[in-house]
Amino acid sequence: MKTQLVQTYKPLQHYSLKQVQSLAVLSMNMNELENKISSIAEENPVLEILPTYYTRYNQLLDENIATSEPTLTDELLSQCNTSKFEHKEVARYLIQCLDSNGYLTTPLPTLRKECHVSMDILKKSLTYIQTLSPKGVGARDMQECLEIQCRLIKTKHHDLLMKTLHYLPDLAKGHFQKVAQLCDANEANVRKCFELIKTCNPKPGASYAQGATPLIPDIEVTLEDDQLLIQIHDITQSLQLNKDFDTSFDKEAANYIKQQTKLVKQLLNSIQRRNTTLYEVCRIIIEIQKDYFIDNAPLKVMTYQQIAELVNRHTSTVFRCIQNKALVFNNQTILLSTLFTNEVNDGVSDDTIKKELKRVIQNEDKKSPLSDEQLCSHFRELHIQVSRRTLAKYRKQLRIPNSMQRKVIF
């Protein structure tokens, strides 16, 4: 066989420093852009920030604090404030001490010294917190977290269920026969208990917002006369070039100011291009999802590729433009990425399935909630084919507990 060398040409795209900066600015949300501008202003004497810049930024920040998603602390304090528990102040203090997963990792003796109450009151307050939702909060470790949730599970093997919690490492490794011997129980029943344990959430607080600086929306959408209007928050209006430099007697200083002026102009141009691209993309998104905003209808199928074709941009440009950015509509902050939906089957979007899933669960019998398999059957009756695993994923995204945890015992 004869070996042959073939020369081929493959075009490679190289970005200039100006293009790299433009792409970086396009990817930034309002929070990141503010940090970028503040950082440059500290080093570059040419960039001047007007007082209106900070006034407007703080106004947007204050407005969005009220519309941001509740944190685990917010949720627990809300329940505590409306309860009749006698030691609310202590309970509030302990709630503030929980970590992002909902665990109390600080030892009680240490907390007792800090809040100056008896150990008895401290324990009563912790026990009270462990009754709040989501179930499992207030635990000192994962085993206690699972114990709190397993106590609420109704099963004829309840005693065995609580025993098996002491052998979690063995259960995780599949050593069911060993656990059965240690608990003096039937291996099949141990397996059933393990399946029940897997329905519990070992990190009950993880799905809540973590209390970071609220995401400031880049876009404001308003409804006027059945028309959706889009406004981009343009912070360049509060930025300007500082021209109060006399460099006529210093050539080196003149060159420095000239270079810094060039950098500031590039930054302002990058921000303007970012805003123009963001407006073009959002205009198409709002047009496609108009019914969602006006009538609260399910989101239509919409992909990045589809938007890229409509605005005549590359898909990666649309992705950079959308990620980690939000709009505000009717005092509600909405991530732009959540407005994109995939087609599940026959033109049905995942948002349509989520809305129906939420509706069915809200109207179910609370004493006998629907399992994921029963929910799948419901969608099959609607001629929508969706797997149990996919449905479970949507349920978790909606922060809806499984059927065991939704069950209400009267």
Q: In angstroms, rounded to a whole number, what is the distance separating the alpha carbons of residues 228 and 285?
A: 11
Q: In angstroms, rounded to a whole number, what is the distance separating the alpha carbons of residues 318 and 308?
A: 6
Is the pLDDT at 250 greater than 70? The verdict is: yes
Kindly report the pTM of this predicted structure: 0.56
Query: 248: which residues sit within 8 A by CB, 6+ positions away?
Result: 254
The pLDDT of residue 228 is 92
Can you read off the two tokens belonging to residue 95? 């709630």
The pLDDT of residue 163 is 93
The pLDDT of residue 289 is 92
Is the pLDDT at 67 greater than 50? The verdict is: no
The pLDDT of residue 66 is 44
Q: Which residue has the tokens 């922060």?
A: 399
**pLDDT tens per residue across span 192-231:** 999 899 888 888 888 776 655 567 888 999 998 889 999 9
- Taking residues 309-327, what's their average pLDDT? 89
List helix spans (H) across 13-157: 17-27, 30-43, 51-65, 72-81, 88-97, 108-115, 119-129, 142-150
C-alpha separations of 102 from 227, 395, 402 in Å: 44, 20, 19
Higher pLDDT, 15 or 328: 328
The pLDDT of residue 164 is 92
**pLDDT tens per residue across span 117-160:** 889 999 999 999 999 988 999 999 999 999 999 998 888 999 99
Tell me how far apart the 2 most distant CA atoms of the chain are, in Å: 94
The pLDDT of residue 402 is 83
Query: 125: which residues sit within 8 A by CB, 6+ positions away?
Result: 85, 87, 90, 91, 94
Q: In angstroms, rounded to a whole number, what is the distance separating the alpha carbons of residues 137 and 75?
A: 11
Can you read off the two tokens belonging to residue 214? 């609220």
The pLDDT of residue 10 is 52
Residue environment code for 371-391, b if the CB has 16+ CB neighbours within 10 A, otherwise e: ebeebbebbeeeebebeeebb
Confidence of residue 244 (pLDDT cuts 50, 70, 90): confident
Confidence of residue 276 (pLDDT cuts 50, 70, 90): very high
C-alpha separations of 383 from 297, 371, 379, 386 in Å: 20, 19, 6, 10
- Taking residues 269-276, what's their average pLDDT? 92
Q: In angstroms, rounded to a whole number, what is the distance separating the alpha carbons of residues 250 and 315?
A: 48
Q: In angstroms, rounded to a whole number, what is the distance separating the alpha carbons of residues 57 and 246?
A: 32
Is the pLDDT at 1 greater than 60? The verdict is: no
143 alpha carbon, distance to own chain's centre: 27
Mean pLDDT of the chain: 84
* Positive or negative: CA dihedral 118, 120, 121, 122: positive
> 233 with 217: CB under 8 angstroms?
yes
Beta partners for residue 220, in sequence order: 231, 328
The proportion of the chain whose per-residue pLDDT surpasses 70, expressed as a percent, equals 87
Q: Where are the beta strands (DSSP E) in 189-299?
A: 219-224, 227-232, 239-241
Residue environment code for 153-168, b if the CB has 16+ CB neighbours within 10 A, otherwise e: beeebeebbebbbebb
Residue environment code for 100-125, b if the CB has 16+ CB neighbours within 10 A, otherwise e: ebbbbeeeeeebeeeeebeeebbebb
Query: 110: which residues sit within 8 A by CB, 6+ positions away?
Result: none
- Taking residues 350-371, what's their average pLDDT? 85
